[in-house]
Amino acid sequence: MDFLRPASWEEALAAKAEHPTAVPIAGGTDVMVEINFDHRRPEYLLDLNRIELLREWEVGEENVRLGASVPYTQIMENLRAELPGLALASHTVASPQIRNRGGVGGNLGTASPAGDAHPALLAAGAEVEVESQARGSRFIPIDEFYTGVKRNALQPDELIKTVHIKKADGPQQYSKVGTRNAMVIAVCAFGLALHPETRTVRTGIGSAAPTPIRAKEAENFLNAALEEGGFWESGKIITPSIAKQFADLCSGAANPIDDVRGTAKYRRHAVGIMARRQLGWTWEQYRGAGRTLEGAA
Ligand SMILES: Cc1cc2nc3c(=O)[nH]c(=O)nc-3n(C[C@H](O)[C@H](O)[C@H](O)COP(=O)(O)OP(=O)(O)OC[C@H]3O[C@@H](n4cnc5c(N)ncnc54)[C@H](O)[C@@H]3O)c2cc1C
């Protein structure tokens, strides 16, 4: 196995163009497991650790530009206000050691349906910037990034450069069901983001379908119900029947399998529970923020 160590982004793109089968390695928390278990024996490893720009982030007016290799710990410590859903999801990844190494680019590269970043990225609204030497960069909307079980939209000569994520304009939540509190692969996971500026909600479901998905029917239902009922202006409590219908539609969007971690029936049920709870938590936060502003006025 040859080890390629580009010193710059341009060198990395050139190496990937020359060796499209080369396997990029960032934190190595997925790649090294696969190599150690002999699930993968690539001809070339492409080490991205000398490329500074992959470990940088920038907070802009509307978006955060998150370098592909920014470790989860940095997201938790520095981007909690801008990306609360992703920060909460980062907190649930493995252990401090893994969170110091692993990042969102690696999670996207692996594209496991159980990856914790995915529901938060889907709910917040993200675009993945990928680049190749031959064709330059292109932006892939997160909804189009996951193409199958552990498959993504990357071409063999492309690398993930940056993830562009909308800054939170309202409350966000993330939760994960597992057999214990740390070092656990999700049995299923759910992320929710309220976007008061556009009066919309977005969801993300993990580990309950072949790919991470949004519950679009549930979003459409809730968007219409909140609009028709004047909930965004009044901040009034969401009725139990709306919350139940939303939860049922989220549960129905899941398309899980039975496996060692849980049954399909349990996963569907748990997705509904998480959806209802998160709607309650985020809406309370939204109402609370409204009341504080009114009180201050
Ligand atoms: C003990 C343990 C516990 C874990 N627990 C969790 C957990 O709770 N939740 C969770 O989501 N994950 C978990 N993981 C998996 C892993 O930590 C995450 O998927 C992490 O985000 C991977 O990031 P990385 O930088 O280490 O990726 P790497 O292992 O370096 O790479 C992962 C994949 O992405 C590709 N890749 C990396 N960077 C790029 C790039 N810039 N462009 C193109 N392709 C790229 C690699 O080629 C590879 O296919 C765990 C892993 C271990 C070992």
Q: What is the pLDDT of residues 20-69, one digit of tens each?
A: 999 999 999 999 999 999 999 999 999 999 999 999 999 999 999 999 99
Q: Give the residue, by CA position, lying nearest to ligand 1 atom 45.
A: 109
Our answer on whether the CB atom of 252 is closer than 6 Å to any ligand 1 atom is no
Share of the chain above pLDDT 70, in %: 97
Tell me, what's the pLDDT at 182? Answer: 84
What is the 102 CA–ligand 1 centroid distance (Å)? 6
Tell me, what's the pLDDT at 100? Answer: 98
Q: What is the pLDDT of residues 184-234, one digit of tens each?
A: 899 999 999 999 999 999 999 999 999 999 999 999 999 999 999 999 999
Q: What is the atom index within ligand 1 of the atom nearest the CA of 160? A: 42
Angle of helix 84-91 relative to helix 117-124, nearest 10 degrees, comes to 170
Q: What is the pLDDT of residues 105-162, one digit of tens each?
A: 999 999 999 999 999 999 999 999 999 999 999 999 999 999 999 999 999 999 999 9
User: What is residue 11's DSSP assignment?
Assistant: H
Tell me, what's the pLDDT at 251? Answer: 98
Q: What is the atom index within ligand 1 of the atom nearest the CA of 159? A: 42
Q: What is the atom index within ligand 1 of the atom nearest the CA of 117? A: 11
CB-based contact 130:137 (threshold 8 Å):
yes
Tell me, what's the pLDDT at 181? Answer: 82
CB-based contact 153:139 (threshold 8 Å):
no
Model pTM score = 0.96
Query: With the CA atoms of 234, 240, 242 and 244 taken in that order, what torsion angle do they form, in degrees rounded to the nearest 10?
Result: 150
CB-based contact 8:51 (threshold 8 Å):
yes
For residues 216 and 201, give the distance between their C-alpha atoms in angstroms, rounded to a whole number: 10
